[in-house]
Chains A and B, each alone.
Chain A
Amino acid sequence: MAEVSAMSEPTAGALEREAERDDNRTRWLLSLPAMIIIVLAAAGPLLVMVVYSFLTPGDYGNVKWEFSTQAWVNTILQRDIFDDTLMWADAHLSIFWRSLSLSLITTVMAFAFGLPTAWFIATQPPGKREFWLFLVTVPFWSNLLVRTIAIQELIRAEGVINNLLLLLGIIDEPLQMMFTNFAIAFGMTYVYLPLMVLPIYAAVDKLDFRLVEAANDLYASRWRTFWRVILPLIKPGIIAGSILVFIPSLGAYVTPRVLGGGKNLMFGNLIELQFGQGRNWPLGAALSLMLMAAVMVSLIWYVRVTSRERSNV
């Protein structure tokens, strides 16, 4: 370096370029740990999944290193045992459908309970909000399985709800709630509710209540104020909450397993089955990637919607 500069006096431009190059080098070095984590923790496993989904299942699990697209075909199609014709894989399709519909129902229910909860917290005096937020997040601190079993205690035949209803004489015999789609949606709503409450809370907290007064002043009833002013302004929070509930619901595994019994499988259970009893790792990998694609699509939609919102407001 010293030699070079002695031979030809560097111009200001060259110095600048050199500084920039140094700058780039440090920046690259600083981001190296993050890069390693991203590659090892995200890209690596993903690549393994992609590769596995194009291999042949091993006899006792694992994979054989023979290229095959069979796993991908089998995600939605199946070969008839007798005449070898391809048909829709009804079992898979009904599981996809159940996953989708239960996730949507969960999201809607989480919204129905989450909005009033978030509203209630955000309208408490500032000192008391932390307490309520804390209560909302408490379930997150315990194991998912424990929480799900608690739900089971509530809804099983001799559970709290049935006993209460029997005691009050509202029903004559216990309601069958366990191992139904209702049980799964109920459990997932409970488990993912905080993910709906927190972003809506943040949005309501930011809401300028003077706008609500302005709407009232301009002859809007409570209901119309809600639809015309409040809802549009907290929409980003609602969308964020919905995404945060919908995505894990779609891939939920523990809750449908415990509350749905063996009958009402969801996407997550189907994947688990392939890696366990099914001994079909390539199919499991292909199904996982499908699920991921579904999540990506809804995320892209979210980013689109919110960025349009932002450029509007």
Chain B
Amino acid sequence: MESYSETAVEARRISKIFPGETEVRALDDVSVSIHRNEFFTLLGPSGCGKTTLLRVIAGFEPPTMGALFLAGTDISRLPPNQRPVNTVFQNYALFPHMSVANNIAFGLEMLGKPKDEVRKTVDDMLRLVRMEALSARRTSEISGGQQQRVALARALAPHPEVLLLDEPLSALDLKLRKEMQIELKRLQNETGITFIFVTHDQEEALTMSDRVAVMNAGKILQIGSPQEIYQRPAERFVANFIGESNFLDATLSGHTATLKAGGAHEVDPPEGVSDGTVSVLVRPEHASVRVGEPKTNEMAATVETVVYSGEATTLHLRLGTGEALKARLPNSPGGGALPGQGTAASVSIAPGAVTVLKD
């Protein structure tokens, strides 16, 4: 376990209940500890509680239960203006009555920094987000992407310990989005600030994060590196939410899973899964297909559909058990022979590619 000096933010068993006619449990016993200088991403479907968790960390929502620690200190009852945490809001929330430069200077002025230091930091920030030319503009007179960069600069200027980013890229078009992803990563490296990033775009989460927490219905289902989350999802929901998945029935016995459709595979089952009937995950790119009769550890299948998509071809197969399986095969330069529609084929699964799921 990491020591306190390495932990930036720690949430201990936080629940948030919004009272009302129908009570909403927006956060349900959430515990997470986020390291310093980490790019930590909260990933989950709409309404799963990502924004609520950020708002609890920023101090806008007091948790109903649980405690929040910043560098080892309990800050659960501290108002937002006393937390060394800044937010890039989903809608940017730039002050419309101030110029770009004044927006960026706001936090520094509120901290009572001397005038020349404010000016210098604002200049640095303008340069960092490449907005020098537009510093005197009103924030209503700049484009969405520019507003996003100003929001970023405004939140970074006071050099907070933790920066919260609530889907900051969701309003941008694809090209700008890709650019900003790289820019954000660069900023995080240059400033050494802990980033807590919210998105419901799984690709964005995988490419940018040091660690990802997958949330659903107010709970954190799994925390891990992008590789762990993708390759060893603990639950069906996580597997389904990230990447494409095949779910197959199998029988578990110790470290061996025998697929119903045929073949025994060595597995490393997660804690709390006992021997018997289980569900396993196979990623489409980990299955390979050839024409011919199945050998040992292969499964017989019929090709139902062939979908060509540039760098790969996806075969939609029907196994002997009636289960569906997608196999994603990279296209070779010569356009190698693939089984055509309606043909009988054999499917093999790469070693270590079978993951046992908790449910």
Are these two chains actual partners, yes or no?
yes
Known: A208-B93, A224-B110. A217 touches B138 (CB 8 A): no
Q: Which residue of chain A has the shortest Cβ distance to B157 in the bound complex?
A: A218
Q: Is the CB of B58 within 8 A of A217?
A: yes
Interface flag for A221 (CB, 8 Å):
yes
Give the Cβ gap from A306 to chain B, nearest Cβ, in Å. 14
A208 surroundings in chain B (CB, below 8 A):
93
- Give the shortest distance, in Å, between A207 (CB) and chain B (any CB): 11
Q: Does A109 sit within 8 A of B, measured CB to CB?
A: no
Q: A214 interface residue, CB < 8 Å from B?
A: yes
A219: interface (CB < 8 Å): yes
- In the complex formed, the residue of A with least CB distance to B164 is A217
Find the B residue at minimum CB distance from A211. B93
A228 to B59, CA, bound (A): 21
Query: In whole angstroms, how far apart are the Cα atoms of A137 and B87 in the complex?
Result: 41
A308 CB–B CB distance under 8 Å:
no
Tell yes or no: A313 within 8 A of B by CB: yes
Docked Cα-Cα span, A219 to B138, in Å, equals 22
**B73 close to chain A: CB less than 8 A:** no
A74-99 contacts to B, CB under 8 A, are: none
Assign chain A's interface to a size class: 10 to 19
Contact with A along B105-146 (1 / 0, CB 8 A): 011001100000000000000000000000000101000000
Give the contacting residue for B158; candidates A218, A221, A312; CB below 8 A: A218
A202 within 8 A of B: no
Asked if B192 is at the interface (CB within 8 A of a chain A CB), the reply is: no
**Most interface-central of B60, B89, B93, B155 (chain A CB within 10 A):** B93
The answer to the question of B80 belonging to the interface, with a C-beta cut-off of 8 Å to chain A, is yes
Question: Contact at B81–A221, with CB atoms within 8 Å?
Answer: yes
* Residue in contact with A217 in the complex, picked from B81, B91, B96, CB distance below 8 Å: B81
Interface size on B, residues (CB 8 A): 26
A210 at the interface (CB under 8 A from B): yes
A229-B95, A232-B97 are contacts. A220–B87 as well, Cβ < 8 Å?
no
CB of B60 within 8 A of CB of A218, answer no
Determine which of B59, B97, B110, B138 lies in contact with A218 in the assembled complex, contact meaning CB atoms within 8 Å.
B110
In the complex the two chains form, is A213's CB within 8 Å of B60's CB?
A: yes
Please tell me if the beta carbons of A218 and B86 are within 8 angstroms of each other in the complex.
yes
Say whether A214 contacts B97, CB under 8 Å. no
| Given A217-B81, A219-B111, A220-B110, A210 contacting B91 (CB threshold 8 A) | yes
Q: Which residues of B contact A312 (CB under 8 A)?
A: 97, 138
Residues of chain A in range 202-252 having any CB-CB distance to chain B below 8 Å: 208, 210-211, 213-221, 224, 228-229, 232-233
- Complex: A117 Cα to B156 Cα, angstroms: 37
Complex: chain A residue closest to B60, CB-CB: A213
B80: A residues at CB distance < 8 A: 213, 216-217
CB of B154 within 8 Å of the partner chain = yes
Q: Mark B45-84, 1 if CB is under 8 A from A, else 0.
A: 0000000000000111000000000000000000111100
Asked whether B87 lies within 8 Å of A214 as measured between CB atoms, the reply is: yes
Bound-complex Cα distance A283 to B94 (A): 55
Alpha-carbon distance between A246 and B95 when the two chains are bound, in angstroms: 30
Q: Which residue of A lies closest to B84 (CB)?
A: A219
Given A224-B110, A313-B140, verify A217-B97 contact (CB < 8 Å): no
A217–B156 CA distance with the chains assembled, in angstroms: 12
Query: Whole-angstrom distance from the CB of A233 to the nearest CB of chain B?
Result: 6
Query: How far does the Cβ of A147 sit from chain B's closest Cβ, in whole Å?
Result: 38
Q: Which residues of A contact B86 (CB under 8 A)?
A: 217-218
Q: Cβ of A217: which chain B residues have Cβ within 8 Å of it?
A: 58, 60, 80-81, 85-87, 155
0/1 per residue, B198-234, Cβ < 8 Å to A? 0000000000000000000000000000000000000
CB distance from A259 to the nearest CB of B (A): 40
Assembled-state Cα–Cα distance A141/B155 (Å): 50
Chain B contacts of A228 at CB under 8 A?
A: 106
A216, A217, A224 — most chain B CB neighbours (10 Å): A217
Q: Are B97 and A219 in contact (CB under 8 A)?
A: no
User: Which residues of chain B have C-beta atoms less than 8 A from A232's C-beta?
Assistant: 97
Residues of A within 8 A of B (CB): 208, 210-211, 213-221, 224, 228-229, 232-233, 312-313
Chain B residues packing against A (C-beta within 8 Å)? 58-60, 79-82, 85-87, 89, 91, 93-97, 106-107, 110-111, 138, 140, 154-155, 158
Can you offer 19 A-B residue contacts whose CB atoms are under 8 A?
Answer: A210-B93, A211-B93, A211-B96, A213-B80, A214-B93, A215-B110, A216-B59, A216-B79, A217-B81, A218-B81, A218-B86, A218-B106, A219-B81, A219-B107, A219-B158, A229-B95, A232-B97, A313-B96, A313-B97
Known: A219-B82, A220-B106, A313-B97. 13 other contacts (CB 8 A): A210-B89, A211-B96, A213-B89, A214-B93, A215-B95, A215-B110, A216-B60, A218-B106, A218-B154, A218-B158, A220-B110, A233-B97, A312-B97
Closest 4 CB pairs of A and B: A218-B107, A219-B110, A214-B93, A216-B80
